[in-house]
Amino acid sequence: MDNDTQSASPGTPPELAPAEAPAEDLDSPARARLTELLLGKPKDPHDRRLFHTLSLVPFLAWIGLGADGLSSSAYGPGEAFRALGDHTYLAIPLALLTAVTVVVISSCYMRLIEVFPHGGGGYLVAMKLLGEKWGIVAGSALLVDYVLTITVSVAAAGDALFSLLPGVGPGWKLAFDVAAILTLTVLNLRGVKESIVVLTPIFITFIITHITLITAGCIAHAGDLPVRVSELYGQFHRDAFGASGALPLLGLLGMAKLFLQAYSLGGGTYTGIEAVSNGLAVLRAPKVQTGKRTMVYMAISLSFTAGGLILCYLLADVNHLMRPDQAQTMNAVLAADVLGKCLPGQPVLQNVLLYLTLASEGALLIIAAQAGFIGGPRVMANMAVDSLLPHRFAALSDRFTTSNGIVLMAATSLAALWYTQGNVSKLVLMYSINVFLTFSLAMFGMTVYWWGQKEQDRVRRRRLTLFLTGFVFCSVILLVTVYEKFLDGGYVTIIVTSSLVALCLLVKRYYRSIGRKITQLGKELEAVKEANAVPPAFDPSLPTAGILVNAFGPLGIHTLLKVIQSFPGYFRNFHFISVGTIDLGNFKGLEEMEALEKSTEENLRKFVRLAEGLGLPATCSFSIGTDAITELERLCRKTARCYRTIVFFSGKLLFEREKWYHFLFHNQTAYALQKKLQWAGLMMVILPMRLFASLRPLKGAATPSSEDRGPAAGASGGAAPSALSRADERKAGR
């Protein structure tokens, strides 16, 4: 792909396409060096190997996206086992059901990404299959979920690491959590792949140490198995039959309730499975096959680790080994017990391996926060593309990261950390509700989808069975968690998620309102498009208007006509300039990038044809990039060297009543670019397109007359009055 492209009318002289010359860097050298040191070098969007170098192979995807689920074994199984209390005989069916649930949900998402190969997860499924309102609910739940992913992972990492330092106060742990979130923010601003590669050794260490821990735990307690089975049978007999020896209904219901409560509290174990479908865009092509393989790695490792740890807790009787006066995790107690039995009389080696196991666990939890930084901003970007959040959240930085979303995710994670003071139990509870709300909507949406695929009857039956099973599992966990823990903090998650849903609805309403006003004003310009004059030859020595435009629509047309009206007869050439902005909506592969180039050029050619129809010589140039301001500055500087006299113009929405939130919903590209160009000695004028608070349909839009169409009509540069500006004048006089 070329760095930029210039196209012109047939009369354009060859000197209008000069050799490429990069724009001067106006930033201070010190600032540029510091930025490059922290965030790395900017990436070239025109590099054809860009997608290959940024994408993740299955192993790296397993680390970056699967670490969330695998690291949840540090707190999910422990929360579930703790909920059993003294009724630990339920641990065996709990371990089995946990492993089965991991396999079922992973299988569902493997089939989900076949239907949605571009990613999007629960949000896209709900939006496309259940409707916009359910999509907003799923997207909002996912965003809150990813914020809590970061918070709970970092808080659990602090617990794991500070289990090695029992005498250290909680203030130091909180400071560590804050520092970890800030460090991850900087790493993710550098790029997804870069942050994962740095953390790969930690992931591998965790895998080795925890496979060894679970295997050694089972072997170390194999000799105690007959005694433990006898004890567990005695507990079960007392709970089920009581003193009477009968099997009371109340005993069964109580056991079922306890089991479901423990099962639901272990819901944090399954939280990372969604991340693969949301992060599909960063996977190596073919994306679906890479996603499936990543999901297989995740399902095997997570089911083994989660189920194996619950079994080891049971065999080691961890509840009775826990000391209430020490802040230790269950995994820390289990590891100390297993090492003591496997390496008797070697305290130094025991301590080294204990520290290594818990350090790798804490470090992996830090990696797990990656899922929040990868998935959260991508969900945010998808919602921004759908106008449910401000459009700026779909933008990519020059490192091809969703920097706005990353910063917001970090800020909200810090807020959640402060609110809960890093309490993992409270965070897991808040976390699980939204996870399984999204899971349930995704499973139900896919059930609806396959219900309608009657032409594929054989596959349809299997898929319906799979997704119905997944829906039952997920909805049961969701309902039990909300019922049991609503007053213990579950209500906070529901309030926050509901507030975010309401905010998304307001944002959508705002963008629809602005869209209707712009569309209504655009209808008054339809007659202008019908002009059909013949322009004179292009002469670069004559005064030229450089008009910055985006898509072919009312704002660009209004800017063109306003220039003609405001400077009658002065500008003899019109040079249209545009940048195709790369955001998460189109950064999916070479085909999408080429389509962006093509659509940007087509939009510009429409402006050229419009100007030529008004009798004005016109040409155009464009480029694509992540930062519209940087690319526009470069194009404007290059264009300025082609003409003796040129003034640049840009349109800008001007509201009758300015509100504080307008800054959030609309970019300030025009003002920022004007400052840069004026500092470079180039003139740029911003022309307002007025949007009134209330807009009524207007009639009587006029086409510029032959006397108004400029030099080609023999009027020596007469003005082409804008129908829109006439309407504005009528409104202003009311």
The verdict on 429 and 531 lying in the same domain is: no
Q: Is 296 within the bounds of a domain?
A: yes
pLDDT higher at 698 or 181: 181
Asked if residue 77 has a cis previous peptide bond (ω within 30° of 0), the answer is no
What are 459's two structure tokens?
Answer: 């596959």
Q: Once rounded to an integer, what is the mean pLDDT over residues 179-186?
A: 84
The verdict on 536 and 475 lying in the same domain is: no
pTM of this prediction exceeds 0.85: no
Q: Once rounded to an integer, what is the mean pLDDT over residues 179-201?
A: 71
| CATH assignment of the domain containing 715 | 3.40.50.620
Question: In the sheet where 618-625 sits, what is the strand order?
Answer: 4-8, 618-625, 573-581, 544-548, 646-655, 684-691
Distance CA 573, CA 620 (A): 11
Residue (of 430, 732, 711, 707) closest to 574 by Cα position:
711
pLDDT of residue 559: 87
Q: Once rounded to an integer, what is the mean pLDDT over residues 15-39?
A: 46
Per-residue 3-state assignment (H helix, E strand, C coil) for 575-639: EEEEEEECECCCCCCHHHHHHHHHHHHHHHHHHHHHHHHCCCCEEEEEEEECCHHHHHHHHHHHH
Residue (of 547, 529, 543) closest to 620 by Cα position:
547
Count of beta carbons in the 10 Å neighbourhood of residue 696: 7
| Domain total in the chain | 2
Picking from 103-112, 179-188, 497-506, which range would have the lowest pLDDT averaged per residue? 179-188
pLDDT higher at 201 or 661: 201
Confidence of residue 701 (pLDDT cuts 50, 70, 90): very low
What are 625's two structure tokens?
Answer: 């990039």
Residue (of 557, 604, 548, 572) closest to 723 by Cα position:
557
Find which of 49-58, 365-374, 404-413 is predicted with most confidence, using mean pLDDT: 404-413
Q: Is 599 within the bounds of a domain?
A: yes
The verdict on 594 and 465 lying in the same domain is: no
The residues, any chain, with a CB within 8 Å of residue 440's CB and separated by 6 or more, are: 471, 474, 475, 478
What are 76's two structure tokens?
Answer: 């999910």
CB 66 within 8 A of CB 276: yes
CB 98 within 8 A of CB 303: yes
- Average pLDDT of the residues of the chain: 75
pLDDT per residue over 526-540, tens digit each? 656 656 777 888 888
Q: HSE on the CB side for 162, CA within 13 Å?
A: 20
Q: Give yes or no for residue 192 having a pLDDT over 60.
A: no
pLDDT per residue over 255-314, tens digit each? 778 888 788 776 656 666 777 776 676 677 777 888 888 888 888 888 888 888 888 888
Last residue of a domain, one of 489, 506, 535: 489
Q: Once rounded to an integer, what is the mean pLDDT over residues 505-519?
A: 83
pLDDT of residue 142: 85
Residue (of 522, 529, 571, 607) closest to 685 by Cα position:
571
The verdict on 228 and 183 lying in the same domain is: yes
Buried b (16+ CB within 10 A) or exposed e, 144-163: bbbbbbbbbbbbbbbbbbbb
Count of beta carbons in the 10 Å neighbourhood of residue 708: 21
Q: Which residue range forms the structural domain that includes residue 352?
A: 51-489
Residue (of 576, 546, 533, 575) closest to 720 by Cα position:
533
Q: Once rounded to an integer, what is the mean pLDDT over residues 379-389?
A: 83
Distance CA 44, CA 579 (A): 15
Distance CA 368, CA 156 (A): 10
What are 446's two structure tokens?
Answer: 């896919």
pLDDT of residue 469: 93
Q: Give yes or no for residue 459 having a pLDDT over 70.
A: yes
Last residue of a domain, one of 489, 513, 534: 489
- Percent share of the chain, pLDDT over 90: 9
Q: Apex CA 80: angle with CA 74 and CA 83, to 5°?
A: 130
Distance CA 499, CA 136 (A): 11
Q: Is 17 within the bounds of a domain?
A: no
Q: Is 591 within the bounds of a domain?
A: yes
Q: Give yes or no for residue 545 having a pLDDT over 90.
A: yes
The verdict on 645 and 566 lying in the same domain is: yes
The verdict on 307 and 164 lying in the same domain is: yes
Q: Is 502 within the bounds of a domain?
A: no
Give, for 380, the enclosing helix (H) or strand (E): helix 347-385
Distance CA 711, CA 709 (A): 7
pLDDT of residue 190: 65
Secondary structure percentages of the chain, helix, strand, coil, to 5: 70, 5, 25
Q: Is 505 within the bounds of a domain?
A: no
Q: Is 358 within the bounds of a domain?
A: yes
The verdict on 416 and 534 lying in the same domain is: no
In one-letter notation, the amino acid at residue 32 is: A
The verdict on 480 and 531 lying in the same domain is: no
Distance CA 152, CA 433 (A): 14
- Percent share of the chain, pLDDT over 70: 73
Confidence of residue 402 (pLDDT cuts 50, 70, 90): low
pLDDT of residue 722: 37
pLDDT of residue 166: 63
The verdict on 462 and 608 lying in the same domain is: no
- Whether the CA torsion 107, 113, 115, 116 is positive or negative: it is positive
Last residue of a domain, one of 440, 469, 489: 489
Burial of 668 per CB tally in 10 Å (0-12, 13-18, 19+): exposed
Give, for 322, the enclosing helix (H) or strand (E): none
Q: Apex CA 460: angle with CA 454 and CA 461, to 5°?
A: 120
Q: Is 12 within the bounds of a domain?
A: no
The verdict on 688 and 561 lying in the same domain is: yes
Picking from 2-16, 156-170, 540-554, 593-607, which range would have the lowest pLDDT averaged per residue? 2-16
Residue (of 721, 718, 720, 713) closest to 536 by Cα position:
713
The verdict on 528 and 481 lying in the same domain is: no
pLDDT per residue over 590-649, tens digit each? 667 777 888 888 888 889 988 888 888 999 998 887 677 778 888 999 999 989 899 999
The verdict on 529 and 484 lying in the same domain is: no
Count of beta carbons in the 10 Å neighbourhood of residue 14: 7
pLDDT per residue over 651-692, tens digit each? 887 776 777 676 677 767 788 888 888 888 899 998 887 776
Measured distance between the N- and C-terminal CA atoms of the chain, rounded to whole angstroms: 52
pLDDT higher at 503 or 454: 503
pLDDT of residue 680: 86
| CATH assignment of the domain containing 111 | 1.20.1740.10
Q: How many residues does the chain have?
A: 734
Residue (of 716, 697, 727, 678) closest to 558 by Cα position:
727
pLDDT of residue 705: 37
